[in-house]
């Protein structure tokens, strides 16, 4: 599994750089009115390109996304902190000017250590972003609950959402798709790709479902149909954030 997920991680990163990326292909539009935890990232790279990823609000000052979104051979955390923006409260892909989105700056990142750009396994792909200022909660900006125990079982359904572009189209809006879990281990879920697929800008986006009245974050979009599980990262999340984040 770890070998396979590593290959898929690299494939996704390369796809994001060199090829049109697919996003929640087969899915339908998703909104912050329905899913107020949806967030997006833009990353301005030293080569002038802008990367885009998806994420979730998990606390007033914390966003969860994918670590590979901020890793490039030619830059580092110091650079990425200065050049990453998190946008909430909008359904539209942020293009530098937004009429309804709120743009947040990054204070710091929490992530595991990797040995180099090409070492990208699912078990290292979680990124916690601490914002410089807290998010004001309202109907279109609310946290999603981290899944410490309500884990999905084989064949359970869940939704994933992201803001990556569709084939042959610029990123425009969030899309969502519902699918079922076809395999799982301690570290990842794999979902049924015959219903929907994810791609480049969807990376870091939530894999979630409703349990009682709460939206629960089970995992994040990594690449292919691989979803690293939040429950696998729980102890690490509590430790690095000194219990500011709980699951
Ligand atoms: C971090 O990356 C930036 C952008 O490539 C570079 O200018 C800077 O020198 C790097 N800093 C360190 C400490 O490597
Ligand atoms: C950027 O997005 C806003 C909506 O959020 C839109 O009104 C504007 O026309 C867009 N600008 C460009 C250059 O695409
Ligand atoms: C698993 O879920 C899918 C999609 O919800 C459904 O089509 C299929 O019948 C389910 N299979 C079993 C064995 O329950
Ligand atoms: C995947 O989804 C399709 C379409 O709903 C369904 O027919 C198929 O049984 C699912 N596969 C698995 C392994 O659950």
Domain range for 173: 145-232
Q: What span, in angstroms and rounded, lies between the C-alpha atoms of 162 and 22?
A: 10
CA of 177 to the centre of ligand 4 (A): 14
In a domain, 203, yes or no: yes
In a domain, 46, yes or no: no
CB count within 10 Å of CB 16 equals 22
Angle at 71 between CA 47 and CA 200, to 5 degrees: 85
User: Looking at the whole model, is its pTM more than 0.85?
Assistant: yes
In a domain, 163, yes or no: yes
Joined together, the tokens standing for residue 17 give: 């750089």
Check which CATH number belongs to the domain holding 171 and give it: 2.40.10.10
Q: Name the pairing type of β-strands 214-220 and 145-146.
A: parallel
pLDDT tens, the chain, 247 aa long: 343 444 444 444 433 433 333 456 778 899 999 999 999 999 999 888 889 999 999 999 999 999 999 998 888 999 999 999 999 999 999 988 877 899 999 999 999 988 877 678 999 999 999 999 999 999 999 999 999 987 899 999 999 999 987 666 777 899 999 999 999 999 999 999 988 888 889 999 999 999 989 999 999 999 999 999 999 999 999 999 999 998 8
In a domain, 168, yes or no: yes
In a domain, 199, yes or no: yes
Is any atom of ligand 3 closer than 6 Å to the C-beta of 194? no
Residues in the chain: 247
Return the DSSP state at 197. Answer: B
Is any atom of ligand 1 closer than 6 Å to the C-beta of 79? yes
CA of 48 to the centre of ligand 1 (A): 15
Is any atom of ligand 3 closer than 6 Å to the C-beta of 50? no
């Amino acid at each position: 599994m770890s070998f396979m997920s590593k290959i898929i991680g690299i494939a996704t990163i390369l796809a994001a750089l060199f090829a049109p990326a697919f996003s929640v292909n087969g899915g339908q539009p998703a909104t912050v009115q329905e899913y107020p935890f949806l967030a997006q990232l833009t990353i301005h790279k030293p080569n002038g390109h802008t990367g885009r990823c998806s994420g979730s609000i998990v606390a007033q000052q914390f966003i969860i996304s994918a670590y590979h979104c901020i890793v490039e051979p030619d830059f580092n955390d110091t650079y990425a902190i200065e050049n990453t923006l998190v946008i909430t409260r909008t359904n539209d892909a942020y293009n530098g000017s937004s009429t309804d989105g709120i743009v947040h700056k990054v204070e710091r990142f929490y992530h595991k250590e990797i040995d180099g750009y090409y070492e990208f396994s699912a078990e290292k792909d979680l990124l916690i972003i601490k914002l410089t200022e807290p998010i004001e909660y309202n109907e279109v900006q609310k946290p999603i609950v981290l899944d410490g125990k309500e884990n999905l079982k084989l064949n359970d359904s869940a939704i994933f959402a992201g803001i990556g572009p569709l084939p042959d189209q610029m990123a425009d809006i969030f899309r969502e798709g519902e699918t079922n879990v076809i395999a799982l281990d301690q570290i990842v879920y794999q979902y049924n790709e015959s219903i929907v697929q994810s791609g480049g800008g969807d990376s870091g986006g939530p894999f979630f479902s409703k349990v009682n009245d709460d939206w629960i974050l089970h995992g994040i979009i990594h690449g292919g149909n691989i979803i690293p599980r939040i429950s696998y990262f729980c102890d690490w999340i509590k430790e690095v954030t000194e219990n500011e984040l709980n699951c």
